[in-house]
Amino acid sequence: MPRPQVTVIGAGNVGASVAQRVAEAGLADVVVIDIVEGLPQGKALDLAEAAPVVGHDMKISGTNDYADTAGSDIIVVTSGLARQPGMSRDDLLAKNAGIVRSVVQQSAAQSPGGIIIVVTNPLDAMCHVALEASGFTPERVIGMAGVLDSARFRTFIAQELGVSVGSTHAFVLGGHGDTMVPLPRYSTAGGVPITELMSAERIAALVDRTRTGGAEIVALLKTGSAYYAPAASVAQMVDSILNDRNAILPCAAYLNGEYGVDGLFVGVPVKLGRTGITQVVEIELSDDERAAFDKSAAAVRELVETMERLSAAG
Ligand SMILES: NC(=O)c1ccc[n+]([C@@H]2O[C@H](COP(=O)([O-])OP(=O)(O)OC[C@H]3O[C@@H](n4cnc5c(N)ncnc54)[C@H](O)[C@@H]3O)[C@@H](O)[C@H]2O)c1
């Protein structure tokens, strides 16, 4: 049986780290593609030359030609621009929408049975572009954000309580960004809700740090954004899909009435298996949580409407 294959679009920080994690975990062969000539080839060769030391036999190749990505089981979309000085959020939205549309059309044509994991920001809006451009069914288009956001929350919980990260679990809903909704009563250490283990003030501080976790890293790095934890998060999704684990992971999923939302990608817990999203897991929300979730969904809807307006105008 041929080994599974993952296409990683974008050989930048996130893309190259995804390629490394996926190959070194022995999950799949990896094809890295980028618009810049030499970049994916160079990074792939460097990663391949690490294989004898690390001890894996996955194939890693780099290309600028979508034909080389044919027959992939998963397509990870990381291509895009970072916001540059003088560029408005709307400019970035329109530019990345154009990039994601183009790369998804080309890669989906080569891998019509694949599953797309979107990473490019603004995440929830880019999921809509990927769904439309691929023509795939919604369970095969999944956004990576919640795994990263909950990993950040878990890190802060573990540091606060002085416990192993392995003893923690965190639950995060909503869009990726300022309006994300961490749920403390479903976030636990050793199975005990953190609401029993810390004061409300400390929980609020950790929630706030989680919400601004991406910006905290940008402020430190100054020349880029996070990529180690984002890549690890993508690899966990790839693992659950390729090994048909049906792990419950928070992901941006296209909702069809679940959580009272219709026709929108929003972060919710889903089961990820060999066919993509096999179930959206619904939980009861308290009034406060519901209000925060609705606000988050409204922010995503606004972003998608802005994108549609920009693309109609441009
Ligand atoms: N969803 C999340 O939680 C999350 C986390 C981290 C980063 N991100 C996003 O992921 C994206 C990538 O981040 P990064 O740090 O790797 O950026 P990066 O600048 O290091 O890499 C982006 C790569 O995309 C390539 N690219 C641009 N246009 C392309 C095209 N048309 N076809 C193929 N490749 C193209 C560039 O050449 C570059 O190599 C950004 O949009 C970032 O905001 C999202």
pLDDT tens track, the chain, 314 positions: 789 999 999 999 999 999 999 999 999 999 999 999 999 999 999 999 999 999 999 999 999 999 999 999 999 999 999 777 777 777 889 999 999 999 999 999 999 999 999 999 999 999 999 999 999 999 999 999 999 999 999 999 999 999 999 999 998 999 887 788 999 999 999 999 999 999 999 999 999 999 999 989 989 998 889 999 999 999 999 999 999 999 999 999 999 999 999 999 999 999 999 999 999 999 999 999 999 999 999 999 999 999 888 888 76
* Ligand 1 center–CA 127 separation, angstroms: 14
* Ligand 1 center–CA 10 separation, angstroms: 6
Determine which residue's CA is closest to atom 18 belonging to ligand 1: 12
Task: Say how many C-beta atoms besides its own lie within 10 A of residue 160's C-beta.
Answer: 17
Considering only CA atoms, which of 6, 9, 176 is closest in space to residue 80? Answer: 9
Phi, psi angles (nearest 5°) of residue 196: -90, -10
Question: What is residue 224's predicted lDDT score, i.e. its pLDDT?
Answer: 87
In this structure, what DSSP letter does residue 6 have?
A: E
Atom of ligand 1 at shortest range from CA of 148: 3
Atom of ligand 1 at shortest range from CA of 233: 3
Gap between the terminal Cα atoms of the chain: 46
In this structure, what DSSP letter does residue 150 have?
A: H
In this structure, what DSSP letter does residue 51 have?
A: H
Question: What is residue 286's predicted lDDT score, i.e. its pLDDT?
Answer: 92
Question: What is residue 177's predicted lDDT score, i.e. its pLDDT?
Answer: 75
Question: What is residue 133's predicted lDDT score, i.e. its pLDDT?
Answer: 98
Question: What is residue 2's predicted lDDT score, i.e. its pLDDT?
Answer: 86
Question: What is residue 287's predicted lDDT score, i.e. its pLDDT?
Answer: 94
CB 198, CB 160: distance < 8 Å: yes
* Ligand 1 center–CA 58 separation, angstroms: 23
CB 126, CB 252: distance < 8 Å: no
Establish whether 176 is a catalytic residue: yes
Determine whether the shortest distance from the Cβ of 72 to ligand 1 is under 6 A. no
Question: What is residue 176's predicted lDDT score, i.e. its pLDDT?
Answer: 83
Question: What is residue 117's predicted lDDT score, i.e. its pLDDT?
Answer: 98
Backbone Cα Rg of the chain:
19
